[in-house]
């Protein structure tokens, strides 16, 4: 029987079927692989474009745009008329941005071949790299010359991450003339940066003394930013955007720059200090110390030789003697003793005390400056002649605690709230103070306190405040800051200060004694008399010993001017004017000047003459018509 057609496959057809099946399988595998690959690519594209698109865009942009923070300009310090005492000038500087520097050591080597980079500066840069984030620019060199700046710019392709920046640096137009008051700035230290990260910016400075220090928060401002387009080697192509920082506020002082210059001219080469106050409201119009120093040196760095010169100078140019120098007030203290006695009723204006030239207390003899004595004197005569015996006796009657209490009310031996660092409060001793140190107070201590000697220590600023208070009868506080960012501070009017709790009759008695010192025949300071009789000055001389004079020295004709400079007495003079309407108070201390009448009184007169002529407290008003102070003929004592 023949087989039915189609019931059995032929060998050729079986082979063809197998091939078709294999093809389909391979096609499915390839298709699956293609779908998988496409899926993977799609997921990667999604991740790149959507999930991480922002990060990659930023990374791409960083190859083209460089962002930097900008140090804000520091606020200015100006005088009462707007004269700049501390300002800013342009400063080319080289910065290193670690984040943009592949090989920092090589970059520094290349930079040092173009611009000198001392080893200690390189070490500083390497230290700072470990302290700050890598995107914060680090200062390589400041105060670049035009040639140095050009060399860096020309070689920019070989200096990746090193850029030239134009900033500002502190400038003091008057140099040493305002140094102790205005102060100076210096680069911030680690503690400063930890407290305020803004200070890590290149070019930032921190106030280290004076107004620069006390008003730091107002002066330093807030940072800005700039975006720059750079090429592959870091060369700046153009500036894309800039947000300026907020500059620091301007601080206006009560100081009058012209008067300050006049006072410095009067002091000359003396180791001295002088203060001029507006006696009605406590504004400090001049605050001078000689010798002084150049504050700009602290901005760029003080050399070891310069520091040694300053610290070895016996006249101490770095110390603000007007606020931090402490001296026995000598006879300028006698007004405080008189007011304490008048209040305690241990003395009246008509009481008379005999001066034979000395006061004996047990085995101790206390001498008057006048060897022959002054005879019988009342309060006016005691002040006029600056009689030591008169005030020995007044102090003995009154007691140290009452004298101290009156002195504190007048501004002596107490901290004065003036806007400067390092202001010293001085000392008016009391029984309690002495006992706290393990010693009893004795009557001899009281007696020498009566003439401003012993343990008493006061500053020239306190002396000027003391005279302002007793001349006006108001408890003025000296102050230096007049306005910040155009906003006036309180205290510009006399009515801002309370009335001193001392009877006017007592104040008048003391003022009359000070007037007699200068304007009556036989006073100790006729040399301080103003030439114009319409405008009169009242004052008081003082001479404070810095070492004890023995009885043997007195018996052998001792003269303090023959001593070495550092052993001579300090010379002092305090005054106010005009007498009938007090406007200005002045205090002058000449270190080791010997006699107040000879050394300090002429300086006080000339300083007061300048204050009255310039009249900074009433600039818009009519100037006082004054004569030549040299026309006053000196006569009388030499205390």
CATH topology of domain 65-230+238-253: Penicillin-binding protein 2a (Domain 2) (3.90.1310)
Per-residue pLDDT tens digits for 441-478: 999 999 999 999 999 999 999 999 999 999 999 999 99
**pLDDT tens figures, 334-346:** 999 999 999 999 9
pLDDT tier for residue 551 given thresholds of 50, 70 and 90: low
Q: For residue 214, how many other CB atoms are within 10 A of its CB?
A: 21
Mean pLDDT of 137-160: 84
Quickly name the fold that domain 257-292+317-483+491-631 has. Beta-lactamase (3.40.710)
pLDDT tens sequence across 378-436: 999 999 999 999 999 999 999 999 999 999 999 999 999 899 999 999 999 999 999 99
The residue count of the chain comes to 639
Helix (H) or strand (E) holding 573: strand 570-577
Tokens of 121: 């500066």
- What is d(CA 392, CA 369) in angstroms, rounded to the nearest whole number? 12
pLDDT for the residue 188 = 84
What are the helix (H) ranges across 399-496? Answer: 400-409, 431-436, 443-449, 460-472
Does residue 41 have a cis peptide bond before it, meaning omega lies within 30 degrees of 0? no
331: annotated active-site residue:
yes
Per-residue pLDDT for 7 more than 60? no
Region(s) of the chain under CATH 3.40.710.10: 257-292+317-483+491-631
Strand partners, 359: 366
Q: What's the mean pLDDT when you consider all of the chain?
A: 85
- How far apart, in whole angstroms, are the C-alpha atoms of residue 177 and residue 264? 8
pLDDT(482) > 80: yes
Q: Average pLDDT for residues 363-369, to the nearest whole number?
A: 90
pLDDT for residue 525 is more than 50: yes
> For the chain, where do the domains classified as CATH 3.90.1310.10 start and end?
65-230+238-253
Helix (H, G, I), strand (E, B) or coil at 420: coil
Please, which pLDDT band fits residue 625 given cuts at 50, 70 and 90?
Answer: very low
Query: Percent of the chain at pLDDT above 90?
Result: 50
Lowest mean pLDDT among 149-158, 517-526, 548-557: 548-557
* Identified catalytic residue from 273, 331, 386, 544: 331
- Tell me, what's the pLDDT at 291? 95
Contact (Cβ atoms closer than 8 angstroms) between residue 76 and residue 170: no
At residue 631, the pLDDT reads: 36
The string of pLDDT tens digits covering residues 51-72 is: 666 655 554 555 567 666 677 8
Contacts for 524 with CB less than 8 Å, ≥ 6 apart: 384, 385, 386, 517, 541, 596, 597, 636, 637, 638, 639
């Amino acid at each position: 029987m023949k087989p039915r057609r189609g019931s059995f496959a032929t060998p050729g057809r079986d082979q063809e079927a197998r091939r078709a099946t294999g093809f389909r399988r391979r096609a499915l595998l390839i298709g699956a692989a293609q779908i998988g690959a496409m899926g993977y690519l799609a997921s990667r594209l999604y991740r790149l474009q959507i999930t991480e698109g922002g990060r990659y865009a930023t990374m791409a942009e960083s190859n083209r745009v460089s962002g930097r923070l900008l140090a804000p300009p520091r606020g200015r310090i100006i005088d009462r008329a707007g004269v700049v005492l501390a300002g800013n000038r342009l400063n080319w500087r080289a910065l290193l941005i670690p984040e943009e520097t592949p090989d920092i050591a090589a970059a520094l080597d290349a930079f040092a071949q173009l611009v000198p980079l001392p080893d200690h500066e390189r070490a500083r840069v390497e230290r700072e790299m470990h302290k700050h984030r890598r995107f914060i620019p680090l200062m390589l060199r400041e105060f670049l010359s035009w040639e140095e700046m050009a060399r860096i710019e020309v070689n920019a392709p070989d200096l990746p991450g090193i850029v030239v920046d134009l900033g500002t640096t502190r400038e003091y137009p008057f140099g040493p003339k305002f140094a102790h008051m205005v102060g100076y700035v210096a680069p911030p230290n680690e503690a400063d940066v930890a407290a305020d990260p803004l200070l890590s910016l290149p070019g930032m400075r921190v106030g280290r003394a004076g107004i620069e220090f006390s008003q730091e928060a107002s002066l330093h401002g807030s940072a800005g930013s700039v975006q720059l387009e750079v090429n592959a080697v870091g060369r700046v192509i153009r500036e894309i955007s800039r947000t300026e920082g907020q500059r620091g506020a301007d601080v206006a002082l009560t100081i009058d720059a012209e008067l300050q210059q006049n006072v410095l001219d009067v002091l000359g080469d003396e180791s001295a200090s002088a203060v001029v106050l507006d006696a009605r409201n406590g504004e400090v119009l001049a605050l001078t110390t000689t010798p002084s120093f150049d504050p700009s040196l602290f901005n760029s760095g003080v050399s070891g030789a310069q520091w040694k010169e300053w610290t070895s100078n016996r006249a101490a140019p770095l110390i603000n003697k007007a606020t931090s120098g402490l001296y026995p007030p000598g006879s300028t203290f006698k007004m405080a003793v008189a007011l304490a006695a008048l209040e305690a009723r241990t003395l009246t204006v008509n009481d008379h005390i005999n001066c034979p030239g000395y006061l004996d207390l047990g085995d101790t003899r206390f001498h008057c400056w006048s060897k022959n004595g002054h005879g019988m004197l009342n309060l006016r005569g005691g002040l006029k002649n600056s009689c030591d015996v008169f005030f020995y006796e007044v102090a003995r009657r009154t007691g140290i605690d009452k004298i101290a209490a009156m002195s504190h009310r007048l501004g002596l031996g107490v901290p004065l709230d003036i806007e400067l660092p390092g202001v010293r409060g001085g000392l008016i001793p009391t029984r309690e103070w002495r006992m706290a140190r393990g010693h009893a107070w004795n009557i001899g201590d009281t007696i020498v306190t009566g003439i401003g000697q012993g343990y008493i220590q006061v500053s020239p600023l306190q002396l000027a405040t003391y005279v302002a208070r007793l001349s006006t009868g108001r408890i003025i506080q000296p102050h230096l800051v007049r306005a910040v960012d155009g906003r006036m501070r309180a205290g510009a009017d006399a009515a801002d200060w309370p009335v001193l709790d001392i009877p006017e009759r007592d104040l008048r008695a003391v003022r009359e004694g000070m007037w007699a010192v200068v304007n009556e025949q036989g006073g100790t300071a006729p040399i301080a008399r103003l030439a114009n009789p319409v405008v009169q000055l009242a004052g008081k001389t003082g001479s404070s010993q810095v070492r004890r004079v023995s009885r043997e020295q007195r018996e052998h004709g001792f003269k303090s001017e023959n001593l070495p400079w550092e052993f001579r007495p300090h010379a002092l003079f305090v005054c106010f004017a005009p007498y009938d309407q007090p406007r200005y108070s002045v205090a002058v201390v000449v270190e080791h000047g010997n006699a107040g009448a000879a050394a300090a009184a002429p300086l006080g007169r000339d300083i007061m003459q300048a204050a009255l002529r310039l009249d900074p407290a009433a600039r818009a008003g009519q100037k006082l018509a004054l004569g030549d102070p040299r026309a006053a003929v000196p006569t009388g004592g030499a205390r």
